[in-house]
Structure 1
Amino acid sequence: MTPKPDGPPPNPNPRKPVLALPPGACDAHCHIYGPFDRFPLPPERSFTPNAAPETALRRLHDHLGIARAVIVQSQGHGLDHRPLLAALTEGAGRYRGVALLKPDCTEGEIAALDAGGICGVRFNFLTHLGGQPDLAAMRTIIAKVAPFGWHVAIHVAGHDIVTQEGFLGSIAAPVVVDHMARPPLAEGPDGPSIVALKRLIDTGRVWLKLSGADRLSVAGPPFHDALPIATSLARHAPERMLWGSDWPHVNLRGPMPDDGDLVDLLTEIAPGSRERQLMLVDNPQTLFNFA
């Protein structure tokens, strides 16, 4: 029997966005969970998600006009990558993946993940996802995936991006910062977290996901209070920006965001068609090596 989920399921009926996304648009940050009859949740998970299988993700993306996606392994499934690998197979080139690894992972294990369509490894710095990882362990993992050309995804919040700026700037691999680094909203686009983030982006090795506006927002839907930060970052380096839905929006207590609202925020985050082409098509094509 599957345990009771920690939060509500995603919005089952998101509206159709007004914005028509360009052909080949990519959701650079989403997750899947289940089906639980095939892939039971592991006991060592940090939270219990609702079922959100690849079939539901595909329906959502077809509804929103999204052609490609990067599925990020989540603490909900722990180190069991079978659901992710199955989704990558079912997607037949539509998806790429990001893994969670431990320092004792072997070259053979990484090679199998790579062959399955995984192209990055993620590290969480958030307390509810395990807290700050050991930097020496991170360096070990990064060195192991380097021969495969993987990127390094970083999930930080608050002033973590300031604290870790030196370390992140030392990583030779492409670095992708999730959810705009989840800075303190009250500090606005000129706060220390955004200044540090822009410095990292200016190295040319750091990319940013303009996702998680709903997590930054204090006012709630349609999350316009997150726009000053998002637009400042988008204008700073459009050639380093990505966008993600963050579906199915785990670890929220509600109300759950409407994914149509999140897509339509792009009309203000990146009002020009060229900026959206970069963010949604060209940049993910380059970074994630879609066929």
Structure 2
Amino acid sequence: MIARGDDAPACLPPDPDPRTPALTLPPLACDAHFHVFGPRAVFPFSPQRTFTPQDAPKEALFALHRTLGIARGVFVQSACHGSDHAVVLDLLAAGQGRYRAVGLLTPDTPDADIARYDAAGMCGVRFHFFSHLGAPTPADDIRAVIAKVAPLGWHVAIHVGGKGVLEQYEFIAGIDAPVVIDHIGRIDVREGLDGAAFVALRRLLDRGNVWVKLSGTDRISREAYPYRDAVPFARTLVEHAPDRVVWGSDWPHPNHTAVPNDGDLVDLIATIAPDEEGRRKMMVDNPARLFGFGNG
């Protein structure tokens, strides 16, 4: 049985001293995947949560982005806050157009709420296939939610792991909307670049409507920083589909056993995308197109 609420396991805090990266990111660089938690006294955690994070409020996120040279970002609503998007709306308002968000919706989410989220800057909806986050959403419910947000042009974020990309291949391929695979599909690096799941991920990218977040090298790695076993997977995806990759920090790294320094993660971008043009696509042009940011 999965522990929930106050019995749920506690997460490690983010590194309190993110270093300034040696790499200078291009202007309007975007962090395409991060979370904000609480503060709990203002934005309570869900009683059905399966993990309990440390407070990681928007002020800490904004300070981190200043340190890293990040101008834009995409807040991914966490199962910790469930269907209560108050923390999302608060950040979007404070971000004054510099941020977008991905929500957690159900077929019962009122259309009026979806319209309000859209006006605030929400541009996507996320579904997971991980037991530690609770039972996955049934396929018919996912299709019903996609139908509700399709007229708004939202993307569909998919969180799978291991062989998940392979197991969900046909379902993902059947989605007409833009699809974003989180965290490099959280593939098993031990299978190598020719592993079935990673091959399936590249085939999905070839469909033209599928994107991938090059976040989570630290999660798929089985080594310490600089994650030499994981970086080749991210670099391969940059080379394979340079126009459909985006980068994310995954701050504050919930449910992580070895929380990275976010400055280290930014410096890895130079290895993942060695040339300036590739970095600009990944950090600026691609997220601007996918998430609906303007050019200024």
TM-score bin (small chain): over 0.9
Gaps (5+ residues) in structure 2? none
Q: Match of 1:87?
A: 91
**Distance across 1 between alignment mates of 2:72 and 2:197:** 30
Q: Match of 1:288?
A: 291
**Distance across 1 between alignment mates of 2:50 and 2:85:** 15
**Distance across 2 between alignment mates of 1:111 and 1:124:** 23
User: Is 1:278 equivalent to 2:277 in the alignment?
Assistant: no
- Which amino acid letter does the alignment assign opposite residue 74 of structure 2? V
Q: How does 1:234-245 map to 2 (within 5 A)?
A: 234-245=238-249
Gaps (5+ residues) in structure 1? none
Q: Match of 1:216?
A: 220
User: Is 1:269 equivalent to 2:272 in the alignment?
Assistant: yes
Q: Match of 2:43?
A: 39
Q: CA RMSD in A?
A: 1.3
**Distance across 2 between alignment mates of 1:132 and 1:196:** 21
Counterpart of 2:132 (choices 128, 149, 158) is: 128
Counterpart of 1:203 (choices 207, 228, 231) is: 207
Task: Find the residue that maps to 1:69 and give its secondary structure.
Answer: strand
Q: Could you tell me whether the CA contact under 8 Å between 2:29 and 2:284 is conserved in 1?
A: yes
**Distance across 2 between alignment mates of 1:284 and 1:154:** 17
Q: How does 1:51-200 map to 2 (within 5 A)?
A: 51-200=55-204
State the shift of 1:109 in Å: 1.4
**Distance across 2 between alignment mates of 1:124 and 1:70:** 17
Q: Could you tell me whether the CA contact under 8 Å between 1:5 and 1:50 is conserved in 2?
A: no
Q: TM-score, normalised by structure 1?
A: 0.97
State the shift of 1:253 in Å: 2.6
Task: Find the residue that maps to 2:39 and give its secondary structure.
Answer: coil
Task: Find the residue that maps to 1:28 and give its secondary structure.
Answer: strand
State the shift of 1:5 in Å: 6.5
**Distance across 2 between alignment mates of 1:177 and 1:276:** 19
Q: Could you tell me whether the CA contact under 8 Å between 2:9 and 2:50 is conserved in 1?
A: no
Task: Find the residue that maps to 2:192 and give its secondary structure.
Answer: helix
Identity level (%): 54
State the shift of 1:38 in Å: 1.4
**Distance across 2 between alignment mates of 1:60 and 1:204:** 33
Q: Could you tell me whether the CA contact under 8 Å between 2:186 and 2:220 is conserved in 1?
A: yes
State the shift of 1:227 in Å: 1.3
Query: Post-superposition, which runs of at least 4 consecutive aligned residues in structure 1 deviate over 2 A?
Result: 2-5
Deviations 1:200-232 (A, max 9, x none): 101100000000011011112221220121111
Q: Could you tell me whether the CA contact under 8 Å between 1:240 and 1:283 is conserved in 2?
A: yes
Deviations 1:90-130 (A, max 9, x none): 00011100000111112111111111110000001011012
